[in-house]
Amino acid sequence: MAANGNAPKPEADEVRGKVTRTENRALAVVKKVPLPWWALIVLVGATAAVSPYILMPSNLIHLVRQGVPGAILALGETFVILAGGFDLSIASTVSLIAAVASGEMAGKVGNIFPTVALSLSIAAAIGLINGLAVTKLKVPSFLTTLGMMIALQGAALVYTGGMPVGGFPEEFRALGVGRLLGVPYLIWILVIVIVLSQIFLKKTALGRSILSVGGNDLACHLMGIRVNRVRILTFVLSSVFAAVGTLLMVTTFRVWDSSMGKGMHFEAITMVIVGGAALGGGRGSAVTTILGWLVMTMLFTFLNLVGFPEAGRFIVEGVIILLAVAANREALMRVQ
């Protein structure tokens, strides 16, 4: 020891060094992986611990299939939020489209395609109105979509007179039950939508410009991006996705009823935020939203399993969304 004065007890130090190195590596991994993934892993683990049967493929598939409409609504909402806005109107869009679909199909097979086309057109029109009001009239999207939500609620009631009208044909509802290669159609459709959305957002100039506009609309304008057009597009996409989600949702129903769509706007926004997107735009993607959807779905499955009261889910939703945003700010503030 006297000989090597500068290196005290090299052996012990090496061991200590190794431990800290492993610790550091583990910490680095933890820091790199976004929080929602951890939440998901923990939840899956907890669920499995409570009831391993849940993780059987048939149960999982059922779970996922139930959540498909919600996921699609959340994906639509993502576009609007990425560009810095809100779309509160989707809840009523769901109600209206469900009503129109129910009424126009009226149980006949031949009506299916024209009705689908009509539904998507109506949704696109709604999105266009939202977009124009926000960009040209400069009404804040919160208030615009709030107004639309109320108006569309009325529209749905006008169309149906408050009573269930028409009905969904058997062949259409088959879409909800049928499977391809053992996996329900709905899930295939969801996967396609997710993939297309992600590719659009990440790999096309227009898609990327949505994120850019949310990040700094003034700078985008100075670089030649048509900010207003991009924003209008996001609202159109949100409404159209809401229509698609509605059509998929009603395959499990016989006919429209007035509770359809209630609260789905807050649900969608929650999923987008929990997944990591930033309110005010500029951060997020289709994948982060799906992550949020998975976390929320898993969370409620877990709560159901442990017998958490139905009404209590609101409390949990509230706490989760708060934690998610708080955690996100931590992540953003950690300057690497």
- Shortest distance (Å) from residue 324 CB to other proteins: 9
Chain mean position to CA 100: 24
Q: Specify the residue, 159 or 168, whose C-beta has the smaller distance to other proteins.
A: 159
Of 23-31, 82-90, 102-110, 111-119, which part binds other proteins (CB under 8 A)?
Answer: 82-90
* Residues facing 179 on adjacent strands: 184
Question: What six digits make up the tokens of 290?
Answer: 């799906």
Report the distance separating Cα 202 and Cα 11, nearest Å: 50
Q: Does 215 bind other proteins (CB under 8 A)?
A: yes
- Shortest distance (Å) from residue 316 CB to other proteins: 7
Instruction: Say which residues have a Cβ less than 8 Å from residue 144's Cβ, sequence separation at least 6.
Output: 130, 133, 134, 137
Q: Specify the residue, 190 or 201, whose C-beta has the smaller distance to other proteins.
A: 201
Dump the DSSP string for 32-70. Answer: HS-HHHHHHHHHHHHHHHH-GGGGSHHHHHHHHHHHHHH
**Phi and psi (nearest 5°) for 179?**
-130, 155
- Shortest distance (Å) from residue 127 CB to other proteins: 14
What string marks each residue from 293 to 332 as x (binds other proteins by CB under 8 A) or -?
----------------xxxxxxxxxxx-xx--xx--x---
DSSP strand E in 220-295: where? none
Q: Specify the residue, 180 or 326, whose C-beta has the smaller distance to other proteins.
A: 326
Q: Taking CB under 8 A as the criterion, which residues in 149-208 touch other proteins? A: 149-155, 157-158, 162, 199, 203-206, 208
Amino acid identity at 67: G
Q: Does 108 bind other proteins (CB under 8 A)?
A: no
| CA–CA distances in Å: residue 63 to residues 189, 283, 297, 305 | 15, 28, 8, 13
Q: Does 271 bind other proteins (CB under 8 A)?
A: no
- Shortest distance (Å) from residue 224 CB to other proteins: 4
Residue among 9, 18, 31, 221 that touches other proteins (CB under 8 A) = 221
Q: Does 136 bind other proteins (CB under 8 A)?
A: yes
